[in-house]
Chain A
Amino acid sequence: MKRHGAVIFLVSASLIAYQLALMRILSVAQFHHFAYMIISIALLGFGASGTFLYFIKNRFLKNFEAAIFFACAACSSAMILSIFVLHFIHFDPFLLIWDITKIWKLALFYLMIMLPFFFGAIIICSFFIKYSEQINKIYFFNLTGSAFGGVGVLGLLFYFEPYRLPEIIAVVAFIASVFSFSILKRKKIFLIPLALNVIIIFLGWMLPYEIQTSEYKSLSKAMHLMDAKIVNEKFSPFGQITTVASPVLRYAPGLSLNYTGEIPVQTGLFSDGEWVGGIIQSDSNKAADFLKHTTSSLPYQLAKSGNALVIGVGTGTEIRTALQNGNFNVDGVELNPQVTEISNVNFPKEKVGIIIGEGRGYLSQTKNSYDVIAIPILEGFSSSAAGIQSVFENYLLTVESLELMLSKLSDDGVLAISVWTNYPPRHSIKMFAALVESLEKLGIVNPALHIAGIRSWSTATLVVRKTPLASNDIENIKIFCEANSFDPIYYPTITDEEINRYNLLEEDLYYKSSIKILSPQRNEYFDEYNFNIEPPNDDKPYFSHFIKFKSLPYLREILGNESVAFMELGFFILLLTLLQIVLISFVLIIIPLFFLRKEEYPRSSKFATLIYFGGLGSGFMLIEIILIQKFILFLSHPIYSVSVVITALLLFSGIGSYYSTKFLKNVSKKLQFILILIIITAAGYSILIPGMFNYLVHLPVIIKYLIAFLIIAPIAFLMGMPFPIGMSLLAQRFSNLIPWAWGINGYLSVVSAIAAPLLAMEFGFRVVIVIASIMYLVALLISNKERFTF
């Protein structure tokens, strides 16, 4: 079993590592949401392996050792060959919208990426069938291997460029081939495939092929500019950071049209090939003078000196804005150390301090108070329009987070947030609503006296104070607007004559919305507005999710189908992915049912297998995704959250699986007990975790990691048990159903991985935990039925 264990461990490690590496590669080459879609579909390879094995099970088992060896070699080779084939497919998902004839390219993408997962999953599933009496151990190796692979690839991403990883990971799968080769009785005839595997890896390393980068990515476009060249490029698990220099590259979002000075040439900063912003290289004040003529300078009309905090240093523009506008000492918080390193921004050290960390984490631990807290414009220009962020959690812009920011302001301090003025208007309106609610949460009775906002032709900036805005503040805002031809969105004392004078709108929805939000009809207005403008909170931290299903017909009518889709591409791609997966899964789960002979398996057993393993697959994955999303707040970044949650969950589930054999006697009652415990623990987490995180978020990172492991361990330990117990029981009575059960579990896992964020966006995390509990409850109920005769 030792060598078999090694094979399972290595294959499992390589599969999850390959999945994460591909995610990185495709995020750089294509677009994040398409990467997500492609990988999700590819993971159906797990389900497909079950269906495949169901049909060829007997032949496979007859030549088990040889088949395992071939599958290992095929898995390892496919990891490289898939990339090779994909290199030659010029595929731009955007173009599918007009040219559906290229859909075969998408299908080929799915198929090629699915292959390694398919072969790998065949190996794991066939061990379940062959060694059904040791399923707990097989599952243990499977889960611990996956945990190792997940962490391992994140480590590799610090040292290797992403496109190098498939070859390295293929070596891990190759070692599994070597182990399985060593088990073979007649080795000679298998030397050729082994040698082929070696040659493919060698060629892959010597002639590395990359998946071609979309020409529609900002970086590709920038490289067509005059004399454009890449100045610097860095890779890490946070992503690929690139800077590009060109003598024609300038950036001044929302600049006043009255400005007659020069806009300096800047260096472009890109993250995963998407535009982040321009870095002003010159230290001179003259070069950055234009910043005084953007809406982002609004807070400095109210506060002229003191301490400022910029959350999200990025290109450093917001810090320059503060320095340009007054006598400020500025703290800048930036999560990705490579951004500040590569930006090479030389701020005066006596004036500016850079803190590497996450904004909210920093705020919760700092004892400083600030005269200005500024959040730069959200997202890149193009990506904001493309709605890329809609499916991502943003814990910085929730009501709870804004409340924390307000609490860190000095008495006269100003909180300022800038956003793009998308059309139809939604970003700044939602931000306005969130700021108003955060003021109310702080106990301010009349927020209307504390808030103001202005807009240019493309950006808006909102400011709030804990104390009411004074008449000279309002006067300063008016003067600033007049000088730059900006329009006020709102300030106390605003009149209808003062709005919509320079940047004319058919109807000034910014002003109208702010008045409504400040009125008692706020909730009715939220319902009535065509976009979701309700303030995000920690349970639904999706600031950029705006689509309302009920408004879709109206939006389609005024904008057309494509435009609505592009408005929140991330959200629609998720929906599309879910639809595809449900369709494929349905076909692959239901079709085999027709081949199951009635006399061999009672209908109740088939039904019970479907429900039980489907419920487990779904419940496990929903909890995993929600834990990842919740821990982002605690651990400050999706990468930390993914690595800790996946490692801890899989590791402790593996241990749970290992010990699950102890429950095999009098199994029915104990299984029910475990399932009940899972449901209770999940419910407990959803109640306790938010408060616990708020209380512990200020702790040092290492301690937070340990706490995260401790929090995840109990539920993970329990969640590791029902699957191997169910499989063992199935093996005793209906071993032929094992591959089908494995397939169902795989399909439902993938479906749930996609459904989890969609459900969270619509209903919040707590509801998703409830749904996960229902899934386990369904498994519990079916396991309680007497007819459920595994």
Chain B
Amino acid sequence: MIKLIFIFFFILPLLTQDKYTKLRNDMVKFQIEDRGVKDKYVLDAMRAVFRHELVPASHISQAYNDHPVPIGYGQTISQPYIVALMTELADIKPGMKALEIGTGSGYQAAVLAEIIDSVYTIEIIKELGTSAADKLKKLGYKKVQVKIADGYYGWKESAPFDAIIVTAAAEHIPPPLIEQLKEGGKMIIPVGHPFQVQNLMLVEKKEGKIKTKNILPVRFVPFKRGKE
């Protein structure tokens, strides 16, 4: 009986965890590295975050697939590659301070928190924000600050930020966010329909001037398998 309890409580979770570790490693290798993301911090972070813990239970089996996953309220958790690419383009390095607009599932915030200590994230949909905050805490990302508010105003008290990541496609960039971007800082925004591979836009503040750069189109290197 004791053996059974031991198996149930200790061995099974380890086996399950092992399965997800493999899925995560495969995700990083085939979906992210093979498509050209090189930043070591980003790759390590993507390997570390338990994405399956942040998607709804009904979609756990798809957590590490190469596409966005619905999280309710008409929102999705972005495709892993897009999260990695956005983090790389924002040039996140230890010691920096980052703001995320659109917490959603909390996945992007978790990836950031694997690299830096100061992560601020704002969600406008109360239910999503509360759920993400709980899950992030449960996963040990206790330093991530989650606020349920209108992202338009940014997070003035903690500004300026080295990087701002806007996770929802936008048709305008709120002026307060530009103000809260540090000189030399980078902002990254997806442009386009959430269901398609999006183009990303990099906004840079240099000498008080704002320039945008379209990372386009997001190159979709054919999916490679079986190279292990």
* Partner-B contacts on A (CB < 8 A): 94-95, 97-99, 215-217, 220-221, 224-226, 247-248, 250-255, 257-263, 381-382, 385-386, 422-424, 457-458, 485, 502-506, 557-560, 562-563, 566-567
- Min CB distance A199 to B, Å, is 37
- Min CB distance A561 to B, Å, is 9
- Report whether B124 and A566 are in contact in the complex, using a CB–CB cutoff of 8 Å: no
List of A residues within 8 angstroms of B175 by Cβ: 259-263
A512 to B203, CA, bound (A): 24
- Min CB distance B76 to A, Å, is 9
List of B residues within 8 angstroms of A259 by Cβ: 175
Q: Which of B18-26, B89-97, B212-220 contacts A (4 or more CB under 8 A)?
A: B212-220
A559 to B198, CA, bound (A): 9
B125 at the interface (CB under 8 A from A): yes
Residue of A nearest to B76 (CB): A216
List of B residues within 8 angstroms of A386 by Cβ: 193, 195
Interface string of B170-185 (1 = CB under 8 A from A): 0111110011000000
Most buried by A among B195, B199, B212: B195
List of B residues within 8 angstroms of A226 by Cβ: 124, 126, 150
B36 at the interface (CB under 8 A from A): no
- Report whether B196 and A254 are in contact in the complex, using a CB–CB cutoff of 8 Å: no
A-B contact pairs, 21 of them (CB 8 A): A95-B70, A99-B62, A215-B73, A224-B125, A225-B124, A251-B171, A262-B175, A263-B174, A263-B175, A423-B214, A423-B217, A424-B217, A457-B173, A504-B211, A504-B214, A505-B214, A557-B222, A558-B219, A558-B220, A562-B195, A562-B196
- Report whether B191 and A423 are in contact in the complex, using a CB–CB cutoff of 8 Å: yes
- Report whether A255 and B173 are in contact in the complex, using a CB–CB cutoff of 8 Å: yes
Residue of B nearest to A214 (CB): B74
Given the interface pairs A423-B192, A562-B195, the reply to whether A502 lies near B62 with Cβ below 8 Å is no
- Report whether B214 and A215 are in contact in the complex, using a CB–CB cutoff of 8 Å: no
Q: Which of B185-225 contact A (CB under 8 A)?
A: 191-193, 195-197, 199, 201, 203, 209-214, 216-217, 219-220, 222
- Report whether B216 and A457 are in contact in the complex, using a CB–CB cutoff of 8 Å: no
Residue of B nearest to A567 (CB): B196
- Report whether B171 and A254 are in contact in the complex, using a CB–CB cutoff of 8 Å: yes
* Cβ-Cβ contact count across A and B, 8 Å cutoff: 127
A528 to B106, CA, bound (A): 44
List of B residues within 8 angstroms of A422 by Cβ: 192
List of B residues within 8 angstroms of A458 by Cβ: 171-172, 191
- Report whether B173 and A257 are in contact in the complex, using a CB–CB cutoff of 8 Å: yes
- Min CB distance A97 to B, Å, is 7
A263 to B69, CA, bound (A): 32
A328 to B62, CA, bound (A): 56
- Min CB distance B175 to A, Å, is 5
- Min CB distance A240 to B, Å, is 18
- Min CB distance A79 to B, Å, is 30
- Report whether A385 and B203 are in contact in the complex, using a CB–CB cutoff of 8 Å: no
- Report whether A506 and B195 are in contact in the complex, using a CB–CB cutoff of 8 Å: no
The residue from B124, B172, B199 contacting A423, defined by CB atoms under 8 A apart: B199
- Min CB distance A318 to B, Å, is 16
Residue of A nearest to B209 (CB): A485
Q: A226-B126, A502-B210, A563-B196 are in contact. List 15 more A-B contacts (CB 8 A).
A: A98-B67, A216-B74, A221-B73, A226-B124, A248-B150, A253-B172, A263-B152, A422-B192, A423-B199, A423-B214, A457-B212, A503-B213, A558-B217, A560-B220, A562-B197
- Min CB distance A381 to B, Å, is 4
- Report whether A221 and B74 are in contact in the complex, using a CB–CB cutoff of 8 Å: yes
B72 at the interface (CB under 8 A from A): yes
4 closest cross-chain pairs (CB), A and B: A385-B193, A563-B196, A252-B172, A566-B196
- Min CB distance B176 to A, Å, is 9
A563 to B199, CA, bound (A): 11
- Report whether A381 and B214 are in contact in the complex, using a CB–CB cutoff of 8 Å: no
Residue of B nearest to A506 (CB): B216
Residue of A nearest to B214 (CB): A505
List of A residues within 8 angstroms of B192 by Cβ: 385, 422-423
The residue from A98, A217, A247 contacting B65, defined by CB atoms under 8 A apart: A98
The residue from B70, B179, B197, B212 contacting A560, defined by CB atoms under 8 A apart: B197
- Report whether B67 and A257 are in contact in the complex, using a CB–CB cutoff of 8 Å: no
The residue from B73, B150, B172, B222 contacting A254, defined by CB atoms under 8 A apart: B172
- Report whether A559 and B197 are in contact in the complex, using a CB–CB cutoff of 8 Å: yes
* Partner-A contacts on B (CB < 8 A): 62, 65, 67, 69-70, 72-75, 124-126, 150, 152, 169, 171-175, 178-179, 191-193, 195-197, 199, 201, 203, 209-214, 216-217, 219-220, 222
A262 to B166, CA, bound (A): 19
Given the interface pairs A485-B210, A505-B214, the reply to whether A94 lies near B172 with Cβ below 8 Å is no
A505 to B191, CA, bound (A): 14
A278 to B135, CA, bound (A): 35
A258 to B205, CA, bound (A): 11
A540 to B214, CA, bound (A): 32
- Report whether B72 and A215 are in contact in the complex, using a CB–CB cutoff of 8 Å: yes
A386 to B152, CA, bound (A): 25
A99 to B76, CA, bound (A): 14
List of A residues within 8 angstroms of B73 by Cβ: 215, 221, 224
- Min CB distance A292 to B, Å, is 14
Given the interface pairs A258-B210, A558-B217, A559-B220, the reply to whether A94 lies near B173 with Cβ below 8 Å is no
- Report whether B196 and A423 are in contact in the complex, using a CB–CB cutoff of 8 Å: no
- Report whether B211 and A485 are in contact in the complex, using a CB–CB cutoff of 8 Å: yes
A385 to B197, CA, bound (A): 11
List of A residues within 8 angstroms of B171 by Cβ: 251-254, 381, 458
Residue of B nearest to A562 (CB): B196
- Report whether B191 and A257 are in contact in the complex, using a CB–CB cutoff of 8 Å: no
The residue from A97, A248, A562 contacting B152, defined by CB atoms under 8 A apart: A248
A505 to B67, CA, bound (A): 26
Given the interface pairs A257-B178, A263-B172, the reply to whether A94 lies near B212 with Cβ below 8 Å is no
The residue from B179, B193, B209, B216 contacting A505, defined by CB atoms under 8 A apart: B216
Given the interface pairs A247-B150, A254-B171, A562-B195, the reply to whether A503 lies near B70 with Cβ below 8 Å is no
A563 to B66, CA, bound (A): 13
List of B residues within 8 angstroms of A261 by Cβ: 175
A250 to B151, CA, bound (A): 11
A422 to B217, CA, bound (A): 10
The residue from A252, A424, A503, A557 contacting B212, defined by CB atoms under 8 A apart: A503
A259 to B75, CA, bound (A): 29
The residue from A95, A382, A424, A563 contacting B220, defined by CB atoms under 8 A apart: A563
Residue of B nearest to A218 (CB): B74
Given the interface pairs A423-B191, A505-B214, A557-B222, the reply to whether A215 lies near B74 with Cβ below 8 Å is yes
A424 to B175, CA, bound (A): 27
- Min CB distance B61 to A, Å, is 10
List of A residues within 8 angstroms of B125 by Cβ: 224-225
Residue of A nearest to B210 (CB): A257
- Report whether B211 and A502 are in contact in the complex, using a CB–CB cutoff of 8 Å: yes
A220 to B125, CA, bound (A): 12
List of B residues within 8 angstroms of A558 by Cβ: 217, 219-220
A129 to B37, CA, bound (A): 69
A503 to B69, CA, bound (A): 31
Given the interface pairs A215-B74, A216-B74, A221-B73, the reply to whether A566 lies near B193 with Cβ below 8 Å is yes
